[in-house]
Chains A and B, each alone.
Chain A
Amino acid sequence: MRLLRLFGATFSISLRRQLAFRADLAFQALTTVIGVASGLAALGIVYTQTRSLGGWGLGEAVVLLGTYQIVSGVLATFIEPNVVWFAGQVTSGKLDDVLLKPVPSIFLASLGSCAPLGLTQVAMGLAVVGAGLREMDAIPRAYNLFGWLVMLSAGIAITWASRVLLASLAFWAPAMELDVVYGAVWQFGRYPVSVYPQPVRFALTWVLPVAFVSTLPAQALVRGVGPALLLLGTAIGAASLLVVQLVWSAGLRRYTSATS
């Protein structure tokens, strides 16, 4: 509850900061539109050649792209602004301030500030999901919608956990900047994992769980989801939160701050 209020406060502070720059707002909206449009165009071109991609029809693939945009937007709004260049904070001792506050340090370090303009991506993602459903000519049943929301939440939890996990590697190897690698792997989420050949598909589901970010939620929405998968998604989401917490505490024990 208290964390939620804190989260609200940091959001409002960040919004005040960002709204001061009107040009930024325009550019952010523009790049989001371009990004989504190019994604849709790519899908359009692929689907002139085939009616199905890894078993996914055009409408379904558009729903997936929209879902991917939503999670990407959440990542860009709430997570990235905190953890990018996290290694720098560790080596420069900037983390000291976070550690002095009577708030869970992982919360403050990974969600303590945000970039509200990233929410344009989320809004755009929602619109794309809507467009995909329209293309399919389908109105999702309430259960499917519920499944989508649960899987989406699990996907967001996994996204947060994996991003923070990557950042906390800085406690062990401060010179390693893996941000770019993460961004590259993230791009796999644009398409259903079933388009990739088997070893890659396995890796994208279980090693780098990109499948949980877009494929599985979208699947829940357009085809429904069995209770087993729903439970599995929730369990993996919860487990990832636990793991990242443990790694974070272990990392903090190694934190040596910086002089003065």
Chain B
Amino acid sequence: MSAISVRDLSMTYRAPVREGGLRAAVASLVRRRYREIRAVREISFEVGPGEVVGFIGPNGAGKTTTLKMLSGILHPTDGEARVLGFVPWRREREYLRRIAMIRGSQPIGGPPELTVMDSLRFQQLIYEVQDEEFKRNLSELDEMLDLGSLLERQIRALSLGERMRSGLALALVYRPRVLFLDEPTIGLDVSAVQMIRSFVATYSRETEATVLLTSHYMADVETLCRRIVLIDHGCIAYDGDLMGLSATLSPYKLVRVAVSDGACGDWSRYGEVVESEPGRVSLRVGRQDVPAVTARVLAELSVVDLAVEEPPLESVMDRVYREGVA
């Protein structure tokens, strides 16, 4: 049985629209015009138990809306979803006890005057965690997130990185089976990002929790997720493994060549020049042309080094976000 199962899920917002200016504002009192914003359009996918899936797409693609529907915050306009066998938006107690939604933009929701430990104790009460289990979970989280010095501090005095660590501890102290992570590394410094990444990897491995993660940092997705679901304009544009993503979405590969004699001549006869400096060049070459082009390069030039690479995920995504999926 899959942990998350989504079928034809749709969410349409109705937003009032009007032109600028006073006249239009007055007119809108009498006749109001609405525009339907179809944030999510009939998406379907399944996630198996213990899977870590990257949910990616440009701003406004519908990622957060989908996560909010799956965590029970929003009622969809249409379609079905089951998470751990529950219908999320019924918000049954047993369901909410098994999931966590963590937002990088707002990792902690509770009163900021409380200390981290007070907040953890409050979570324990809300989620009905037995004392022994609480202590065990907390000491494990402490080991992974280095909470020690944070526990006695007030939440409002924490830095963003510390807030994120505490937010993760608060959300995971009751051992949720499904995690919705919305931009968990947004705004964090390099070492905090590393820590969060390795934490999510360890946590999902050790507890076999299912994770659905959105991020704009491809590195998050590359290190954590084997599978990617790409959403664009509310529709699923790709669902499959990470390697396949660039193969499907980018019809090019990157051929890097270094030559000994420095005589470069006209590189553009081999492919589109991405970067060049004396004796060294990166070419964008059509996938099916790669064997022919490398053969020609090797035959015609004195090559010191040659490498064929997948284009960086960031640039693939950039093209997809701007131009859509081919």
Contacts and interface: CB of A to CB of B under 8 A. Distances in A.
B78 to A, nearest CB: 14
Contacts of B75: 252-253, 255
B68 A257 contact: yes
A2 B128 contact: yes
A256 B99 CA distance: 20
B91 to A, nearest CB: 7
Interface stretch (B119-127, B143-151, B239-247, B307-315): B119-127
A6 B71 CA distance: 23
A13 B111 contact: yes
A134 B94 CA distance: 53
B94 to A, nearest CB: 8
Contact of A102 (B74, B97, B114): B97
B128 to A, nearest CB: 7
A100 B176 CA distance: 12
**Most interface-central of A17, A94, A99 (chain B CB within 10 A):** A99
A256 B71 CA distance: 13
A253 B94 CA distance: 20
Interface stretch (B101-109, B258-266, B274-282, B293-301): B101-109
A24 interface: no
Nearest to A97: B109
A214 B304 CA distance: 93
B13 interface: yes
B219 interface: no
Interface residues of A, number: 23
A260 B96 contact: no
Contacts of A243: none
Contacts of B105: 260
B126 A103 contact: yes
Contacts of A6: 125-126
B106 to A, nearest CB: 8
Interface in A12-38: 13, 17
Interface string A95-115: 011011111010000000100
A51 interface: no
Contact of B72 (A97, A99, A113, A259): A99
**Most interface-central of A17, A102, A252, A259 (chain B CB within 10 A):** A102
Given A13-B114, A103-B126, A257-B68, A96 B73 contact: yes
Given A2-B128, A100-B96, A257-B74, 16 more contacts: A6-B125, A13-B111, A13-B118, A13-B122, A94-B109, A96-B68, A96-B73, A96-B101, A97-B109, A100-B100, A102-B96, A252-B75, A253-B75, A256-B74, A257-B68, A260-B64
17 contacts: A2-B128, A13-B114, A17-B113, A94-B109, A96-B73, A96-B109, A99-B91, A100-B72, A100-B96, A101-B126, A102-B96, A102-B126, A113-B111, A255-B74, A256-B13, A259-B64, A260-B105
